[in-house]
Structure 1
């Protein structure tokens, strides 16, 4: 999808719970930014999620999927609800369906210390945390979704799938991301594959393919780390890591750990990117315990919108979109550096956080 000068068509999928609240807050900021930079932006709100399933019998209709597929980008709030499940007991998660059906293999999970946001680690270098966990999002252990089996009520089996084609794409994405980050940050970036190659054949295969691709990028430092050791080192020395490609389940777990280091899930944006489509959403869930209280932190949603703007700029929408992404991220940093506190830390609610960020945009 090469974008031209016409208006960008954005599919909004607020979803459930606090997804709706943070979407509304973030869109207010995004609309102000669009006016400032003259961004042609049209939006369409699409219904999907757990409550859609309870009411309509489908979590995401085929018509909704086709409209989302036709959009230039998809901005998603959060989906799922504890009391609403499929008959087999699994979660209502149309966001996973989007990843599989649109081929969104690169789950980009930035983990960055935001100036002024309280951090979990007391070490003075914690403020230097700035990495990307790159979660492969279409296979790995998640390939078993809907395909697991229970045998005679005595055992259950799920299968992990690692393919050369997807691992090559993920690895190249990681190295190219490291190149872009090195240019932006002014320092070399290391790509570190996170696996369990000492135990699983599939992981040893993933490491082999990763090393094959690494030879195409001899100027980018690279290496490997076992997932258990990485869990330890993300607590001991997270400032030492840059780009971390990994299997789907490992990335799911490590990205939550990473979010805990920088203030919580309310500060953790994400993007699921494929060759032609992309979905942008906060890493957090629907927050049933705080939904409707007006205290959900919209920062991750706002930063996910910044990732979307940057991606659209890279796809041909124009430099104004890239500039707007940088300005939005800077507005978030500026607001928190100036003393803004979200509700997690005894501060203000959803709309107040969004307004403080919007106030930083001229």
Structure 2
């Protein structure tokens, strides 16, 4: 099969090489079509996407993306958001798991955050009222809310999870978050074997820090899902082990959640784990469950041994050496 690979900015090209190395080492039938996107490409050309990128995703349906930089306050909107909206990848799926060998305050964390990906404040409907006042529109629809809640319950059912928790602020935002919560309750009725829970977003953040083991699958509107998923990554040592899948009815785009880390770009010391785990998610969704498990297990063994790991997790290995250690485990 053919799939699109978007290396991205900063450390992106370095960690994207690991995907090609692992694909070859595992004899996987995937041909990667490489395209550029992001701040560096925009600075060079004035365009956010390399010509042909969008058409390639339209044709081949599957893509894997490295980190891309986004200017804060000015410039183009996020590449991530643009791709999600363009390809209607309505569900952002973020599995968060503990890895032995990664320093963390918690053990045995196993959470999945499912975030609505196409609307809310990320719709980008904002404007200035005058020089000193701006307004942003929080768009929530019943259709999108029901769709993401149904996806969350189906995910729980298929993966033998037992509880789905809706994250909201309906006590204050009675129309928008109230509509999301209504949709959650309506969908939950069709899944009587799965516990349905509702938690206000600020309390959710506190509960995740106090007792993360009491949660299973979280479903949230776009903004809360973004914030809570990064909080959950902090429970397992940071964004370096946080993969993400953007799932639509027709298209799927997988990515590393972390940033482009320009301060270490070009030094061959970046940790490619998040992108490798995103690749494992992709393999799983392609139906190659065994390959996904093999890759995750090999990565986990290398990290647990702590013999050949990158500086961010206490080692001195280069990106290349770390990837080779994973290949040796394979």
SS in 2 for 1:296: coil
SS in 2 for 1:354: helix
* TM-align CA RMSD: 1.6
User: What is the TM-score with the length of structure 2 in the denominator?
Assistant: 0.95
Q: Which 10-residue stretch deviates more, 258-267 or 97-106?
A: 258-267
Contact 1:50 1:93 in 2 (8 A): no
Shift of 1:189: 2.0
Contact 1:50 1:92 in 2 (8 A): no
Contact 2:23 2:30 in 1 (8 A): no
Q: Report the counterpart of residue 14 of structure 1 in structure 2.
A: 7
SS in 2 for 1:12: strand
2:190 aligns with one of 205, 210, 216: 216
Q: Report the counterpart of residue 71 of structure 1 in structure 2.
A: 60
Q: Distance in 2 between matches of 1:205 and 1:233?
A: 24
2:171 aligns with one of 192, 195, 198: 198
Q: Which runs of 5+ in 2 are unaligned?
A: none
Shift of 1:345: 2.9
Per-residue displacement from partner, 1:295-348 (whole Å, max 9, x unpaired)?
Answer: 2110001000000001111xxxxxxx2211111111112222223443113312
Per-residue displacement from partner, 1:1-36 (whole Å, max 9, x unpaired)?
Answer: xxxxxxx11101111111111111232123212x1x
Q: Distance in 2 between matches of 1:72 and 1:44?
A: 12
Q: Report the counterpart of residue 357 of structure 1 in structure 2.
A: 326
Q: Report the counterpart of residue 311 of structure 2 in structure 1.
A: 343
SS in 2 for 1:78: coil
Contact 1:299 1:353 in 2 (8 A): no
SS in 2 for 1:55: helix
1:54 aligns with one of 27, 43, 59: 43
The alignment status of 1:233 with 2:207, answered yes or no, reads yes
Q: 1:189 to 1:27 in 2, by over 3 A?
A: farther
Contact 1:138 1:248 in 2 (8 A): yes
1:116 aligns with one of 101, 108, 111: 101
Q: Which runs of 5+ in 1 are unaligned?
A: 1-7, 183-187, 314-320
Q: Report the counterpart of residue 301 of structure 1 in structure 2.
A: 275
The alignment status of 1:101 with 2:86, answered yes or no, reads yes
SS in 1 for 2:21: helix
Contact 1:79 1:92 in 2 (8 A): no
User: What is the TM-score with the length of structure 1 in the denominator?
Assistant: 0.87
Q: 1:202 to 1:81 in 2, by over 3 A?
A: closer
Q: 1:198 to 1:357 in 2, by over 3 A?
A: same
The alignment status of 1:271 with 2:245, answered yes or no, reads yes
Q: How many residues align?
A: 327
Q: Distance in 1 between matches of 2:329 and 2:35?
A: 30
Q: Distance in 2 between matches of 1:68 and 1:14?
A: 14
Q: Report the counterpart of residue 298 of structure 2 in structure 1.
A: 331
